[in-house]
Structure 1
Amino acid sequence: MNKKNELSFEESLKELENIVDQLESGDIDLEKSVKLYEKGMLLKKNCEDKLKNVEMQIKKIKLENNKIKKEDFTV
């Protein structure tokens, strides 16, 4: 999965959409369908991991921003 981890969120999502289109077409054999499904699940996990990472970054930024606002600057 090293290559998949190197893909950006957008690249992973685009590839995942392509896989869904192929699977929905019904024009591929069962063996290839299973391989595409497996690849799709790895891409899905990659997207979820990247989203979780961004969510944590946003929470950290918000937390830091709240600390700045709550600081007392009275002399």
Structure 2
Amino acid sequence: MDEGTPAPADAPEIAQMSFEEALAALERIVQQLERGDVPLDQSISLYERGEALRAACQQRLDAAQARIERIVTAADGRAAATLPFDAES
């Protein structure tokens, strides 16, 4: 995405982006909006894409946290095993 323009039609789909790519794209959008030199219609488009990127990043962070919380620890506090986050307790 070029500076000062909303996501072009050929911009990668958010679902296809890695967490790092989505976060970098979100940071670029925030910088553009903070500068305040983007026309109103483009600002709205950028905001909408930014919100979608934020939601995707949050979903990935929540999934990672859930996976981490499923680590089973031994009596001495060391990790004894891991379980998938969607496994039954």
Bigger share in helix: 1
Structure index of larger Rg: 1
Name the one with the larger strand percent: 2
| Match in the other structure for 2:31 | 21
The aligned amino acid for 1:56 is A
Distance 2:42 2:48 in 1: 10
Q: How does 1:29-48 map to 2 (within 5 A)?
A: 29-48=39-58
Structure 2 length-normalised TM: 0.67
**How far off its partner does 1:15 sit?**
0.3
Q: What is the percentage of aligned positions where both structures have the same residue? A: 39
> Once superposed, what is the RMSD of the aligned Cα atoms?
1.4
Larger RCO: 1 or 2 (CA < 8 Å, sep 6+): 1
What residue in structure 2 maps to residue 73 of structure 1? none
Runs of 4+ in 1 over 4 A off after TM superposition: none
Describe the superposition over 1:26-46 as per-residue Cα deviations: whole angstroms up to 9, x where unpaired.
111000000000000000000
Unaligned runs of 5+ in 2: 1-11, 76-89
1:4 equivalent in structure 2: 14
TM-score by length of 1: 0.78
